[in-house]
Structure 1
Amino acid sequence: MFCVIKSAAQKVPSAPMLPLVISVKQKLGLVWSSGALWKEQRTFASTTLRKFGFGKRCLQTQIMEEVDCLMEKLEKFGSKPFDIQDTLNASVSNVICSFLFGKRFEYEDSTFKRLITLLHNLFTTTNVSSPVVIFPVLRFLPMFKVTTIRKIVNDIYEFIKEKIEEHRQNFDESNINDFIDAFLLEQTKKVENSTFTDEQLIITIKEFFAAGTETTSTTLRWALLFLIHHPDWQTKLQRDIDEVIGQGHPTMEHKDQLPSVEAFTLEVQRLANVTPHAAPHAPTEDFYYKGYFIPKGTFMIISLDSVMNDPNIFPEPHKFNPERFLNDRGVCGGEQKDKLLPFSAGRRVCLGESLAKMELFLFLTRFLQKFRIKPENPDCVPPLEGTLGLTNFPKSYNLILLKR
Structure 2
Amino acid sequence: MWVTVAIVVVLIALILRYTGRPKGLPPGPTCYPIIGNVGLVKPSEAVQAHRNLRKKYGDIYTIMTFHKPMIAVHGYDNIRELLVKHGDIFSDRPLTIINGVFNKGKGLVWSSGPLWKEQRTFALTTMRKFGFGKRCLQDQIMEEVDCFMEELEKYENKPFDIQNILNTSVSNVICSLLFGKRFEYEDTKFKRLVVLLNKLFATGNASSPAFIFPVLRHLPMSRYTTVQNIFADIDGFTSEIIAEHRRNFDGNNINDFIDGFLLEQNEAGENSTFTDEQLKISVREFFAAGTETTSTTIRWSLLFLLHHPEWQQKLRDIIDAVIGQSQPKMEHKEQLPLVEAFILEVQRHANLVPLGLPHAPKEDFHYKGYHLPKGTFMFFALDSVMTDPEIFPEPTKFKPERFLDNDGKCNGEQKERLIPFSTGRRLCLGDSLAKMELFLFLTRLLQKFEIKPEKSECLPSLEGKLGITNMPAPFDIVLIKR
| TM-score greater than 0.5 by the shorter chain | yes
For the pair 1:131 / 2:229, whether they are aligned, the reply is no
Cα distance between partner residues in 2 of 1:176 and 1:6:
48
How far has the Cα of 1:21 moved from its partner? 4.8
- How far does the alpha carbon of each residue in 1:65-110 deviate from its partner, in whole angstroms, 9 at most, with x for none? 0000000000111200000000000000000000000000001101
Cα distance between partner residues in 2 of 1:163 and 1:289:
47
TM-score normalised by length of structure 1: 0.95
Q: 1:144 to 1:107 in 2, by over 3 A?
A: same
1:359-370 equivalent positions in 2, closer than 5 A: 359-370=437-448
Q: Which runs of 5+ in 1 are unaligned?
A: none
How far has the Cα of 1:328 moved from its partner? 1.0
1:152-231 equivalent positions in 2, closer than 5 A: 152-231=230-309
Cα distance between partner residues in 1 of 2:61 and 2:263:
40
Paired residues of 1:5 and 1:300 also in contact (CA < 8 A): no
For the pair 1:402 / 2:474, whether they are aligned, the reply is no
Question: In structure 2, what is the equivalent of residue 344 of structure 1?
Answer: 422
How far has the Cα of 1:356 moved from its partner? 0.5
How far has the Cα of 1:192 moved from its partner? 4.4
How far has the Cα of 1:276 moved from its partner? 1.7
Question: Aligned to 2:131, what secondary structure does the other structure show?
Answer: coil
For the pair 1:284 / 2:362, whether they are aligned, the reply is yes
Cα distance between partner residues in 1 of 2:453 and 2:144:
25
* Structure number with higher relative contact order (C-alpha < 8 Å, ≥ 6 residues apart): 1
For the pair 1:274 / 2:321, whether they are aligned, the reply is no
Cα distance between partner residues in 2 of 1:323 and 1:4:
32
Question: In structure 2, what is the equivalent of residue 297 of structure 1?
Answer: 375
Question: Aligned to 2:260, what secondary structure does the other structure show?
Answer: helix
Q: 1:275 to 1:4 in 2, by over 3 A?
A: farther
How far has the Cα of 1:6 moved from its partner? 7.2
Paired residues of 1:7 and 1:300 also in contact (CA < 8 A): no
Cα distance between partner residues in 2 of 1:382 and 1:42:
39
TM-score normalised by length of structure 2: 0.80
Question: Aligned to 1:58, what secondary structure does the other structure show?
Answer: helix
- How far does the alpha carbon of each residue in 1:223-256 deviate from its partner, in whole angstroms, 9 at most, with x for none? 0000000000000000000000101100001000
Cα RMSD of the aligned pairs, angstroms, is 2.0
Cα distance between partner residues in 2 of 1:6 and 1:191:
45
Cα distance between partner residues in 2 of 1:248 and 1:7:
54
Question: In structure 2, what is the equivalent of residue 38 of structure 1?
Answer: 116
Q: Number of residues paired by the alignment?
A: 400
Cα distance between partner residues in 1 of 2:385 and 2:261:
36
Paired residues of 1:3 and 1:304 also in contact (CA < 8 A): no
Question: Aligned to 2:198, what secondary structure does the other structure show?
Answer: helix
Of stretches 21-30 and 106-115 in structure 1, the one that deviates more from structure 2 is 21-30
For the pair 1:109 / 2:187, whether they are aligned, the reply is yes
- How far does the alpha carbon of each residue in 1:289-343 deviate from its partner, in whole angstroms, 9 at most, with x for none? 3333221111222221011111111111111000000011100123221100011
Cα distance between partner residues in 2 of 1:24 and 1:320:
39
- How far does the alpha carbon of each residue in 1:139-176 deviate from its partner, in whole angstroms, 9 at most, with x for none? 33343311111111111111111111010000000100
Residue among 410, 415, 421 paired with 1:332: 410
Cα distance between partner residues in 2 of 1:5 and 1:348:
22
Paired residues of 1:31 and 1:279 also in contact (CA < 8 A): no
Larger Rg: 2
Cα distance between partner residues in 1 of 2:117 and 2:227:
29
Residue among 255, 263, 280 paired with 2:341: 263
Paired residues of 1:5 and 1:301 also in contact (CA < 8 A): no
1:15-94 equivalent positions in 2, closer than 5 A: 18-21=96-99, 24-94=102-172
Paired residues of 2:96 and 2:213 also in contact (CA < 8 A): no
Q: Which runs of 5+ in 2 are unaligned?
A: 1-57, 71-92
Q: 1:198 to 1:78 in 2, by over 3 A?
A: same
Cα distance between partner residues in 1 of 2:319 and 2:62:
41
Cα distance between partner residues in 2 of 1:187 and 1:287:
37
Question: Aligned to 2:397, what secondary structure does the other structure show?
Answer: coil
Cα distance between partner residues in 1 of 2:157 and 2:285:
36
Paired residues of 1:7 and 1:301 also in contact (CA < 8 A): no
